[in-house]
Every structure is written in C-alpha cells, then in structure tokens.
Structure 1
Amino acid sequence: MDSFGVYVHVPFCATRCGYCDFNTYTPTEVDTSHAAYLDALERELALAAQQHELPAADTVFIGGGTPSLLGADGLGRILSAIRGSFGIAPGAEITTESNPESTSPEYFAGLLDHGFTRVSLGMQSASTPVLKVLDRRHTPGRATAAAREALAAGFEHVNLDMIYGTPTETTDDVRATLDAVLSTGVDHVSAYSLIVEDGTAMARKIRRGELPPPEEDTYAERYELIADTLEAAGFDWYEVSNWARPGGECRHNLIYWRGGRWWGAGPGAHSYIGGTRFFNVKRPERYNAMLAEGQLPIDGNETITPDMDHFEQVMLGLRLREGVPAELLRGTEAIVEKHARAGLLTAGERVAPTEKGRLLIDGIITDLLAAE
C-alpha cells in the first residue's frame, strides 16, 4: 500500500511577507485564538478518522503560516490529536516548519520530546537588503543560528528554505546565502524561484515601478549556481527544487510528487483520498464554527478523472530525479526522443530530466502533454 500522510495547516503569522499569498492571517486579520484553532483541529482529526477508513500516518507535516507561533507544546498537542485519531506509524517522519525568529534551543528540545523528527526553517536569504524586500523579519544570521540549535538539540534532519530571484538580489547575495547554508551542517536544502503572485504587496510594488520585475535569465543563472554549489558539497538533487544528503529526502513531499494519499487538516488545507481531492474552508472563524457544529469543514471537492491523474503524474513525476515509467508517455515517443537528443531527458525504461533538462522542465512537460 502506498504511503499515507497527514498535513496540518497553521494559518497564523505575526506579520505578512510581501510575496506571500498563502492562506495565512495576522492578528489584525482574524478574530480567533490559537487555543480555539487547536480545539477545532482536534475535532476535525477525530471526525475525519471516524468518517474515513485510513491507515496510520507514515508522515506528518505541519506547515503554514508560522507553526512555531504555537510553541513546542502547541505543536505537541497537534501530534497527540493525530495519534489519537489516525495514529502515527512506527518510524514515521514528523516535520514542522518554523520561522527562525520564533525558535530557541528550548523550543527545539521540546519538539524532540513530543516526537518530531525533522524541522524546516525559512531562511530565504543571508542578505539584509533581500530580506527587507521580502518583508522578512529575521536578521540574516538568525536562520543559520536556528539550524545549528536544531542540530545541537539532536535533530538529524533539518531543512533550510532559500528563495532566489528576488528583485535587487545579486549573484554575490546568492553565493553568501549558499555559504551560510553549507556552514550549518543541515542535510536538506530547498531553493525556490520567487513567484510574484497577483494581489501581493510585492506585485503592487513592481506594478508601480518601485521594484524591478524578475527576469527569466536571472532565474536560470541563479539556479545553476545553486545546483552546482550544493552538488559539489555532497547534496543530491531528488526534485527540481530540492537537494538532500543521502537519507535526508522529505518523505512527506514525496507522497505529493508520487501521487500518494494524504489528509489535509486546518483552514484551507487540501486532501487527496480515494481518487477525490477536497479542500477545507479558508477562514479560521468559519472553520471553527463548522467543527463546533460537528461538521467536517469541507468547502468543495473534485473527482480526479483518469485524464487528470495522468496529467498530474507526468507534471509531478518529471520533476523528480527518478522520473516516470516510459509507458506513462506512450504516444509521445518522438517528443521524448527529441528532448533526449538535445540532452534534456534520459530515455529508457524511465524518462527523467538530465542536469541540463531541469532548467527547462516546465517547457518539456508542456511539450509532452500537448503531444498526447
């Protein structure tokens, strides 16, 4: 049986970053408390386990938002609720995201006591000007200090998130960030190109000419620098935006990329169970109210048709180093061969992106899907 994961969304942030369009709320934007959220979350997990026959979780991932605002004990309460509903399998990977400014050595020690096995820290950049453009609150050294604190507490698996391509960022900024990351001893790095989403503060600044727009050529140059530097330091890429030392891969995210099942709990969270994708109401107040009335807070669903499933297998699978079985691309052999001759894909029993192909993978996927 394929792996089953539980994702928990914590919708709270102290402040809103200028590039963020996630379902998150600052204290002035929401009329509910952390305690009320945790009460509702416990109800959701209990109801879900009653209404759906699902196995114990092989992975748990608490994201947001800023989960660390709940403190180690608040996050421990979430794990207790999962153990008491779905259950957590022996040897499960249990991750929480944390913002560096809301962590401490005591916080990391508390997470370990509650059973967490992995921490993911939002670093973004080691450059003060870049962090300012992103509206991040932490100082450049806090993320790396937090990573060292987590490792010193006893965490074997620690991730640092980078963002590249921020307006005003220089190549030297990226090099400095990579040097800082590698100095910590973490075993996982995620590096994402900045996506300027409509409706964000950053999008408005670019539209008004206050910031320069991102450039595709810059993204490519920065990605190559990141990939070359991490791989020279002993990290292996296993998904286009993710690198790990052996054994450090994020098992929870692999469930998404391989088309596995997961339950998403919390406001706005998405689930994928039994060929159906469904999603929760976004506003925490409505989420709390529905659960207080004994209802699962589901706002909508869609049945995944065979065509949709195929599309997602190709779209997600070709971002992985392992690629996809060649039979999944039946009918596109000529397109696969064209990209293989150009050195962008490997062809055989499995089709996967090459080092060069990673840079162009979105276009390659579009090309293959259009040919079907």
Structure 2
Amino acid sequence: MPNKVRIALDAMGGDFGVPVVVPGAAISLKRHPDTEFVMFGDETQIGRELDKLPALKAVTRVVHTDVAVRMDDKPSQALRRGRKTSSMWLAIDAVRRGEADTVVSAGNTGALMAMARFNLRTLPGVDRPAIAAVWPTVRGESVVLDVGASIGGDAQHLAVLAIMGSAMARVLFDLDRPTVGLLNIGTEEVKGVEEVREAAELLRKLNPPHLNFVGFVEGDGIGQGAADVIVTEGFSGNIALKAAEGTARQIGEYLRGAMSRTWRSRIGYLFARNAFQALRDRLDPRKVNGGVFLGLNGIVIKSHGGTDAEGFASAVDVGYDMVRYDLLTKINQTLKRDGGELGFAPLVQEATS
C-alpha cells in the first residue's frame, strides 16, 4: 500500500480546464491529505491557480504542455495530434510509467478511452473497456455500466460487462453474489432488442457462481436499486446517466421555487432546513461524479466535462479510493479467479474474435 496516493491530472481537460481542475484538487486534498498531484497543462495558468492554494502547491508538480485535446475532437484526431504531447496523453502515460497511481480527466470521453487503451492496454481478453459508475439508489448504491465508453454491443459484450460489473460490486459492496440485471424496455422475456435478449440467454446458460442474474430491469429500476449491477451498452447508459442528473437538478429547482414562494413556505423551510439540505446533498450529481474505466491495465477516472470544482473533487476522490483500497487489483484478481471457474476467458475470446 503506497504511503502517498499519487494522482495525475489532465489540467486542460473539460469545458473549463485549469480553473476547475486545480480548485477541485484542493478540495479533494482537504479530504485526503496523503495525496500528491502531478498536473499536466499550461504551467502559467496552473501556477496562477496554485499561488492561491499554498497547501496544494506544496504537494503538486507541474509538467508543462500547451497542447490540449478539444472536447469536439474525434478520438482518431486526438491520437494523431495529441499523442505524446497533450495534457491528456501525458497524464495517462504517467500511470503507465509508474509516476502516478491513477489519472483523472474531465476531457473528451472518446479521446480519453482511445488514448488509455493505446497507452495502458487492456486486460487479457478484454477488447472493449467500459465506464462503470456507482449510482445512488433508494436501497444504497449500484454499479451501472457502460455509461459512455462505447456504443452498441452484441450479447457476448453485454455478458462480459455483467461479469466485470459483478466483480466490481463484489469488491465495493462486499457481496458474495451480486444481483445483475440487463437494462431493457420491459421485464418480459419477449421485449427488447435481440442483443439484450440473447445476452440474457447467455447469462442463464453460463450461470456464473459469483453472479446472480435476475433478468431485465426497466429504467425506473435503476434508482430503485433493482439490482446491484445494471448492465447496458454505452449509448443508452449515457442517456440514462444524463437523464438522472437532469432530473435531480430539476427537482432541486422545484424545491427552491416552492420553498421561496410564500412567507409560510419560507418559515416552513426554516424548520425543515436540515432535512432539505440532506435531500439536496443526496440529489447533487456532483457528489457522485467520476466513472471508472474497467478493463484497463491502470486506473483511469472520467469526470464530467461540464462539472465545477466540487464535482471534479468527487472524481479525484474516486481515483483516491481506487488506489488506497487497492480496488483495481482486487477486481482483476476476481476476474482472473472467476475466469477459471466460469469460463470468463473463453467468453471474452469469443466476444472479441
């Protein structure tokens, strides 16, 4: 276990870059004083922000580059233009070279995935990594994947996601046999696209000993915690994620409006202020920002591109936890062990052949 958790930051990534990344790192540092940072980006901009934050400056090394991956760059363009010179590439490469334990970026998702796969490589047998998010539910938390790494996927790909997600849930939630559901437009066996129905048949046929497949889960079942792991391909997963975040903000706006409409409601708010604050915190998408790239030989955390400093700090916290509690190693050990027990490796080979 490392004495310090070393985190590489793509300081130029996201919609706002340095003005969000640096203050976000400072917020996370207060929660985790045993952190060191390496920031990749324009040293003038970074230095200007670090001068305001002496505690962060004392534990931060800056590596200069003025090359940044744009949010609208195609992955192929980002690889050609930004390979070995961009802040995103350099931050990922710090993990490969052992100079950092994890990398956090709010940059272009497609570019981040392409660079991470090219630089860090995937685990044996894994062709398409996934972004896994820990989703708050009324029952606690669930792992949801894929929430945006890649679009589409056949039955074998969805089954692989189920096995990777269940491994993550076993480690995070200390479960022997996490429940796993496939996101679908209904719970009936005849509903949904062919790939999802075939994935359900495949999981039933495999009957993995460390995975309890419970069938299909509708969209409203995600927030209800209908399963410990919810599996879908990246297109629908990302839509579900953004819809949930938008709904949380909408409810927050409704509450603020209702509590300030009349003098009676304002007085009522004063009496219930603590309860409303707890609800606001629970609905705040920034508190659960940060997706984990599963299937790579390294820890890569994706922050939302449009988040603020508090939200970016949450993504940094995810990277810290992955390192401090050695979660990636434990997840990979689970996958390796289960590969021998339930045919995970042959399944992956079939899916990627």
TM over 0.5: no
Name the structure where strand makes up a greater proportion of residues: 1
TM-score by length of 1: 0.25
Normalised TM-score (structure 2): 0.26
